[in-house]
Structure 1
Amino acid sequence: MLSKLSHWIGTRRRERALRTHAIADALWQRTLAGLPFLARLEPADQARLRDLTSLFLAQKEFSTAHELELTDEISVAIAVQACLPVLNLDLDLYRGWVGVIVYPGEFVIRKTVEDEDGVVHEVEHDASGEAWEGGPVVLSWEDAQMTDGSDAYNVVIHEFAHKIDMVTGVADGHPPLFRRLHAPLDSAAWADVFDHAYDQFCAKVDAVPERRWARFERDSLIDPYAADHPSEFFAVCSEALFVKPHEFEAQYPELYRLLARYYRQDPARTGALLPGAAD
């Protein structure tokens, strides 16, 4: 009886959230037009994504900085990109925090860093996005609009991939695996493919002569920044999976297959659920 009551309450809350945060047809069509990689989804999947976006908007609190006006266009564009990675997973992967902070452009991050000698330094650098463990996601709206598909860059997918990676602790490039969603993929199988691919990519980056660096940085599908840490490699590869799936599959077929199995989407094949994926 209790489980039935809980299910009924959950259903009522979901229906209320969908009504309260319904996305107008015109706004939804404008959002899709500005995010060409969503065109790969089947109409039924786009409809599910629309509902998931409304539920996300019901759960999160958007705010802006530096006098940027918060509009429905901003909220929906960010929310739909945040929801794409969890379309066939679970929105609960984003539980435990509520804030999405949007700056007009890049913002300054200040961090405390300890060097190899144990000396602590205060450093700062410009950033287009930041995901805080247990805290908000911070985004540059200017960068969030760089979505024409000319390259694999997508700051929203990148930061929300970090959020998924953080579910079981500090982001380390080994996101949580759930038997219900991911079997037979397990942590050992993930590490076998992912860690090897990361090591190979780092070696590739290290081997680039300084005189050829600018060209490599321009031509590489995977941003060389991904070599900084396994968590960055996971986030950058997640961008490529959804934004440039055909190129990603062609250049990194085993890694593509791994991430497609993880997200339970096959974007190179119209975004379909992978054959044989656990339900």
Structure 2
Amino acid sequence: MLNFLKQWREQRIIRRAPYSESEWRSAFERLPLLDRLSGDEKMRLRRLAVLFLHGKSLEGAGDLMVTNELKLVIALQACLPILNLGRDWYDGWVSVVIYRAGFTPMHSEMDEYGIVHRVKAPLNGESWERGPVVLSADAALEGGAIDGHNLVIHEFAHKLDMQNGVANGMPPLHREMSAVQWNEVFSAAYADLRQRIAHGKPTPIDHYAATAPAEFFAVLSEVFFERPAVLRDTYPGVYRQLQLFYRQNPLDT
């Protein structure tokens, strides 16, 4: 009975969604990374995006007007990682704060001598544990370019990672997955990337992935969805683990 009521409520939300067909078409056209999806997958992604937008608050910072087009472009990218997981994976927080361009938050950092410094650094996105996702509208709208970089997927991968608490590069794994194998595969790939960078060796993976295990997971999630062949060829074990976690195979088109 409860499941029936949930489905009825979701259908009602979807039927009443205030988005036109032309707005959906424009959003999908901005995101060629979704072209690989089947018709059924696109429809499921669209439904998931509507429910996501109903449950989350997308707020413009400053004088930014959050248009339907911006909402749909963000929601489609945010929901791609959970297409086969479900929106429960984004439970526990509500807000998406959107700046027109980048923003410069104040952070505390401890140096090697234990002295804490207050510093400002420009960012395009940020995810807070149990708090909002912060995005740049310009970067989100450019996310459709298949170049291995996707701000929205990156920040929402952090949200998945945080389902275990503090982001550490290991989200809650499915029952059929092995935590030992995940750790072995990711640790070896992370160490390899850091060694390559330290020795000036070329790598197709963004160097930012080497700054922390959490960033490694988020950056490689971007690559998994945008340039899957690059990830498979560079770190096949990581590709397999992400395939199992996201329950998607971007190369199976």
Counterpart CA distance in 1 for 2:237 and 2:251 is: 14
Shift, 1:42, TM fit? 0.7
Question: Matched residues in 2 for 1:110 and 1:91: separation?
Answer: 31
What residue ranges of structure 2 are gaps of 5+ in the alignment? none
Q: Aligned to 2:17, which of 15, 21, 24?
A: 21
After TM superposition, the score normalised by the length of structure 2 is 0.96
Pick from 234, 239, 247 the counterpart of residue 217 of structure 2: 234
> 1:252 corresponds to which residue?
235
Q: Does the aligned pair in 2 maintain the 1:149–1:244 contact within 8 Å?
A: no
In structure 2, give the amino acid aligned to 1:110: M
Match of 2:181 in 1: 189
User: Structure 1 counterpart of 2:7, which letter?
Assistant: T
Q: Deviations over 1:109-130 (max 9, x none)?
A: 2111122322111011000000
Q: What letter matches 1:269 in structure 2?
A: D
Residues 94-149 of structure 1: CA deviation (Å, up to 9, x unaligned): 01111011101010021111223221110110000000000000000111122353
Which stretch of structure 1 is more off in the superposition, 16-25 or 48-57?
16-25
What's the secondary structure of 2:76's corresponding residue? Answer: helix
| Aligned-partner SS, 1:101 | strand
Unaligned runs of 5+ in 1: 210-215, 271-279
Counterpart secondary structure, 2:232: helix
Distance across 1 between alignment mates of 2:15 and 2:204? 40
Counterpart check, 1:32 vs 2:28: yes
Q: Match of 2:226?
A: 243
Give aligned pairs, total: 253
Displacement of 1:186: 1.7
Misfit runs of 4+, over 6 Å: none
Task: Describe the shift of the 1:50–1:148 C-alpha distance in structure 2 as closer, same or farther (beyond 3 A).
Answer: closer
Q: Secondary structure at the match of 1:100?
A: strand
C-alpha root-mean-square deviation of aligned residues, in Å? 1.4
- Structure 2 distance, partners of 1:119, 1:143, is 34
**TM-score scaled by length of structure 1:** 0.87
Amino acid at match of 1:233: F
Percent identity between matched residues is 42
